[in-house]
Amino acid sequence: ETGVTQSPTHLIKTRGQQVTLRCSSQSGHNTVSWYQQALGQGPQFIFQYYREEENGRGNFPPRFSGLQFPNYSSELNVNALELDDSALYLCASSVETSRYNEQFFGPGTRLTVL
């Protein structure tokens, strides 16, 4: 069974640019959640996608957007990058019918905004 994978591992961008991060769900999972983990902090929920629709959103501005594809892989897009967007971005997949909503995390993408 393949776990959650994310690409790229590391990324360096400059302020004002746009970035796309990618996530492949664990086999059999149809729900993907994205989290932002700033240095020294716990992960913060950005949004969740279920069956290709946004299904919940945290306290993040609209320049954070996403997509989920029919194979349940997902993208996180961030426009107009700001210095504070520098963080580890974690993707987690889960089975919608799981009563416990246990989420399985990928290794993350480290984004640095200069």
Partner 1 sequence: AQSVTQLGSHVSVSEGALVLLRCNYSSSVPPYLFWYVQYPNQGLQLLLKYTSAATLVKGINGFEAEFKKSETSFHLTKPSAHMSDAAEYFCAVTAPGYGGSQGNLIFGKGTKLSVKP
Q: To the nearest whole angstrom, how small is the minimum distance from the Cβ of residue 91 to partner 1?
A: 9
Pick 16 or 111: Cβ nearer partner 1: 111
Q: Within 10 A of 7 (CB to CB), how many other CB atoms are there?
A: 13
Q: To the nearest whole angstrom, how small is the minimum distance from the Cβ of residue 16 to partner 1?
A: 27
Pick 15 or 51: Cβ nearer partner 1: 51
Largest CA distance in the chain: 41
DSSP state letter for 96: T
Pick 13 or 104: Cβ nearer partner 1: 104
Kind plus residue range of the DSSP H or E element containing 32: strand 31-37
Q: To the nearest whole angstrom, how small is the minimum distance from the Cβ of residue 25 to partner 1?
A: 13
Which residues make up the interface to partner 1 (CB under 8 A)?
A: 4, 6, 31, 33, 35, 40-45, 48, 50, 55-58, 90, 92, 94, 96-97, 99-108
Answer whether 11's CB lies under 8 Å from 78's CB: no
**And the tokens for 82?**
């700001």
